[in-house]
Amino acid sequence: MLNKFKKSLLDKDKGEIIKKGFSFFTFSFTGLVAGYFYTFFIAQKFGATVNGLIGLSFSIFMICSIFGKLGLDLNIVKYYSNSDNVKNDTGIFYISLLKASIFSVFISFLVYTFREELCINLLEKPNLVPYIFWTCLAIPLWVIILICASYFRARKQNNIFSFLNASGRFLLTLIFFEILSLYSSNDIITIQAHFYALLVLAIFSLISVVTSIKKINFKTTNNSWSFLRASFPMMLSSTIIILLGWIDTFILGIFEDEAVVGIYTIALKIATLTSFSLQAINSILAPKIAKAYDEQDLDLFKSLVKFSTKLNFFITLIIVTGIIMFSEFALGLFGEEFKEGSVLLIILCVGQFINSFSGSVGIILQMTGNQKFFRNIVFLSLILNILLNLILTPYFKAVGVAIATVISMAMWNIIGSVYLKRKLNLVTYYQYK
């Protein structure tokens, strides 16, 4: 095993996945630690109830942001993985950024306009209303950041991509939270800190892109509306994936109080540790397999997929085992009341392990022109997720939500891996060989 790993480091493409993937993991882990401290301080200062309000705010924030970027971020990764497009057509980036920004502002306006219907009538959480203002202000900023990050991902500038996409958000949020805590003890500072962090990060991301491209240009050799239409299936797929990750918190908020949502949110946050290796690998794998598939270098394409699956499987196995063994201890760090989430944490970790076994199914489908099929299977999974949540939550509460999440996410991963095996003769799932 050690010899194989050494050989992989010598291989140009596999070595790049390991090295740059590790770089992404480092940035992500830094952001995760900052996020945990942010959550920890909220739990210590304000308790599970405010954690629940933050969890609901973030679920609304993430769902709206994924709609706002219109799928353009993934299409930018595909488009600018080709160096010729960087030289000859920078205009499509700025036009895409402008369209996504305008659309995300429109979504934010709608959410803010109907904030009382959402918070009071639907969720029955009147305390959430003040959080919505700052949440809506942050949505367009996050869309700008993600669009800018996608350009750096396409160009394999993994450090800045990792900072913008992973660590920067919570590092800066933690800093602003500590600053605001010096002047106020009002719980609203928890969401204000998040807004100020994204404002700084959005400005930084824009300056970084302009500096990299060296000019602002709104002229393009392509039809920008055709580019948007090509992004639409990716937007739907990305939207559904985000919904799968956040709809559980939202539905739990309908049936349970803020404290239960807060406990579930902490368990979910710890469980996401297991997905970091997949995110790290995918960060560099996406442009590589897009380029290999476009050039019909199928041997390289299959080799990269097989290698990334094995690497992710073993890393995830180690992390899942550690979290399950120390689940109560990890939850107890946030307070005694959070230990109630140990069963939730174990269930969610099992789901993440199934995802790691299936491999980078979503990225592979979208980078090989199978984004419509991917959209269809994740949409079916979303429907299943909502139905299971509505059926199980009234009886099993947060445990029902966790089970629904695991089943629905496992569904699209397994179906996707089977589809790739049959259509492309590509094995994305882990094989012991």
28: in domain:
yes
429: in domain:
no
What are the tokens at 1?
A: 């095993």
Query: Given this model, what pLDDT does residue 9 score?
Result: 43
Contact 195/137 with Cβ under 8 angstroms?
Answer: yes
Residue-range definition of the domain harbouring residue 15: 2-424
430: in domain:
no
- d(Cα 300, Cα 19) in Å, to the nearest integer? 18
Query: Given this model, what pLDDT does residue 86 score?
Result: 66
433: in domain:
no
- DSSP type of residue 42: H
Query: Given this model, what pLDDT does residue 54 score?
Result: 87
Coil, strand or helix: which one is 419?
helix
The dihedral through the CA atoms of 110, 145, 372, 377 has a sign that is: negative
- d(Cα 106, Cα 355) in Å, to the nearest integer? 34
381: in domain:
yes
Q: What does the longest C-alpha to C-alpha distance in the chain come to?
A: 61
432: in domain:
no
Coil, strand or helix: which one is 163?
helix
231: in domain:
yes
What are the tokens at 235?
A: 């937007």
Cα pseudo-dihedral 379, 421, 358, 30, rounded to 10:
-90
- d(Cα 164, Cα 246) in Å, to the nearest integer? 21
What are the tokens at 424?
A: 């492309």
Amino acid (1-letter code) at residue 269:
K
Domain count, the chain: 1
Contact 40/206 with Cβ under 8 angstroms?
Answer: no
Query: Given this model, what pLDDT does residue 430 score?
Result: 65
249: in domain:
yes
- d(Cα 295, Cα 361) in Å, to the nearest integer? 20
Amino acid (1-letter code) at residue 134:
W
Query: Given this model, what pLDDT does residue 193 score?
Result: 94
Tens digit of pLDDT per residue, the chain (433 long)? 444 544 444 455 555 555 555 565 666 667 667 777 887 788 778 877 887 888 889 888 988 888 888 777 777 777 777 666 667 777 777 888 888 899 899 999 999 999 988 888 887 788 899 999 999 999 999 999 998 888 887 777 777 877 887 778 888 999 999 999 888 888 899 999 999 999 999 999 989 888 888 777 767 666 666 666 766 666 666 677 777 766 777 788 778 777 787 788 788 878 877 776 666 666 666 667 777 777 777 777 777 777 777 777 787 888 888 888 888 888 887 777 778 888 888 888 888 787 777 777 877 887 777 777 887 888 888 889 889 988 998 888 888 888 988 888 888 888 888 888 888 787 777 666 5
Cα pseudo-dihedral 155, 160, 163, 169, rounded to 10:
-90
Contact 277/312 with Cβ under 8 angstroms?
Answer: yes
DSSP alpha helix (H) spans, 47-113: 48-68, 72-80, 83-88, 91-113
- DSSP type of residue 120: I
**What Rg do the C-alpha atoms of the chain give, in angstroms?**
21
Query: Given this model, what pLDDT does residue 139 score?
Result: 95
